[in-house]
Amino acid sequence: MGNCNICNEAITNPVCSECLQLEIAQWLSDFQAGEPEEVKAVTQLFEHFSTGVNCIVCKKELNVCAHCYCEEAKNFVPKNHSEQFKRTFDFELNNSR
């Protein structure tokens, strides 16, 4: 297993930025909790990183770990939905590194 380029922790939830982006965008839309299109900026932010680990969903290479991706994506979630976001995308966001 490779390490994340941001936090240098082992990648234990190998889901890529693009797959997470789709899930988060759908969540934002379902809960009317923000603009789904804004989450694309997070994916673009990390696109130049490489981990050598492939996504278990789509088989593309991960750029960063799910925790670091969601940590950045939560900045696009209104404060009144942040706890629900952390529960839904619980890649240890309550225990930020």
Instruction: For the chain, give every domain's residue range.
Output: 17-95
Q: H helices within 31-90, ranges in order?
A: 40-46, 66-73, 82-88
> Are 68 and 4 contacting, i.e. CB atoms less than 8 angstroms apart?
yes
pLDDT reported for residue 59: 97
pLDDT reported for residue 91: 72
pLDDT reported for residue 92: 65
Q: What is the pTM of this model?
A: 0.86
pLDDT reported for residue 95: 53
Q: Which two tokens stand for residue 69?
A: 């991706």
Residues 18 and 39: their CA atoms lie apart, in Å, by: 10
pLDDT reported for residue 97: 44
Q: Block means of pLDDT (10 residues each) for the chain, length 97 residues?
A: 90 93 91 82 90 95 93 90 88 55
